[in-house]
Amino acid sequence: MSKISYARHRFPSSIIQRAVWLYFRFPLSFRDVEEMLAERGIDVSYETIRRWILKFGPTIAAKVRSRRVQPSGTWHLDEVFVRIRGKRVYLWRAVDDEGEVLEVLAQSRRNKQAALNLMRKLLKKQGYVPDRIVTDKLGSYSAALRELGLTHLHVTGARSNNRAEVSHQPTRRRERRMGRFKSPNSMQRFLSVHDAIYNHFNLQRHLISRRTLRQTRANAMAAWHQIVAA
């Protein structure tokens, strides 16, 4: 795996890596990251941090995704609306039954074609057909699955799709901290990076012992340092 080049930057790679990690790992603004670095004696402007995020975020996310194992065979699909500049945009998301974010797609509609766009992108990206596709009772999912010939995999139920509904919470927290997203494209770019890094550090801590948590957290951090290495 090729290393990331931090050449021609005034600050050392370790500071850039720290800024990127802070911004995507926690619900922080660029100014929050600036102040946290300033507390360590690092004088860098929030605009510089923004440029680091835009430049290095997608590359790091791609390297994170390349190391992930194949998700489980149960996919949960859901959509939530986000208001951007007074207009309603639908954020479609797919996760597996362990909370791994598989795909996210911002669209202007909540119809059959929008559901098809998500499913086709998801199937192409994952490269296999799952065992089950769990959704709510929105008719767009049923129509899209009929066209794809996957109706036999469709599962709906009162609480069966809670996994997907809960997966929107990190996005909502970031949306509030960022003072809302500025455009559908910027939301798509941000979440494509954010969700990949979220997956890497999502440890399901409520399901494991403290000892296992320490080891798993250490492994995740060690892998992160390998990913962002100069």
CATH number for position 127: 3.30.420.10
C-alpha 80/C-alpha 100 separation (Å) is 17
Same domain, 55 and 118: no
Structure tokens at 157: 């139920």
Structural domain count of the chain: 2
What domain range is 156 assigned to?
74-182
Please, which pLDDT band fits residue 45 given cuts at 50, 70 and 90? very high
Quickly state the pLDDT bin for 202 (edges 50, 70, 90).
confident
Looking at the structure, tell me whether residues 19 and 81 fall in a common domain.
no
Chain centroid, CA 32 distance in Å: 21
Q: Could you tell me the strand order of the sheet in which 74-84 lies?
A: 101-107, 87-96, 74-84, 132-135, 154-156
Shared-domain flag, residues 132 and 176: yes
Residues 138 and 226 in one domain: no
Are residues 41 and 6 located together in one domain of the fold?
yes
Under the banding of pLDDT at 50, 70 and 90, the label for residue 1 is low
Smallest CA-to-CA distance from 77 within 198, 181, 189, 162 is with 162
Same domain, 127 and 214: no
Residue type, 178: M
Residue 97 shares a structural domain with residue 114: yes
**Structural domain ending residue among the three candidates 144, 166, 182:** 182
User: Does one domain contain both 111 and 189?
Assistant: no
Examine the domain organization and report whether 124 and 33 are in the same domain. no
**In the predicted model, is pLDDT for residue 175 greater than 70?**
yes
Using alpha carbons, select from 54, 53, 16, 51 the residue that is nearest to residue 37.
16
- What's the pLDDT score for residue 98? 87
Q: What is the pLDDT of residues 105-126, one digit of tens each?
A: 999 999 999 999 999 999 999 9
* Location of structure tokens 């065979």: 73
CA distances 154 to 17, 97, 101, 120, Å, are: 42, 14, 19, 15
Structural element, H or E, at residue 103: strand 101-107
- 83: pLDDT strictly greater than 90: yes
- In this prediction, residues 98-105 reach a mean pLDDT of 93
Are residues 167 and 202 part of one domain? no
171 and 207 part of one domain = no
> Do 84 and 177 fall within a single domain?
yes
CB-based burial label for 188 (10 Å; 0-12, 13-18, 19+) = middle
**Residue indicated by tokens 């669209």:** 107
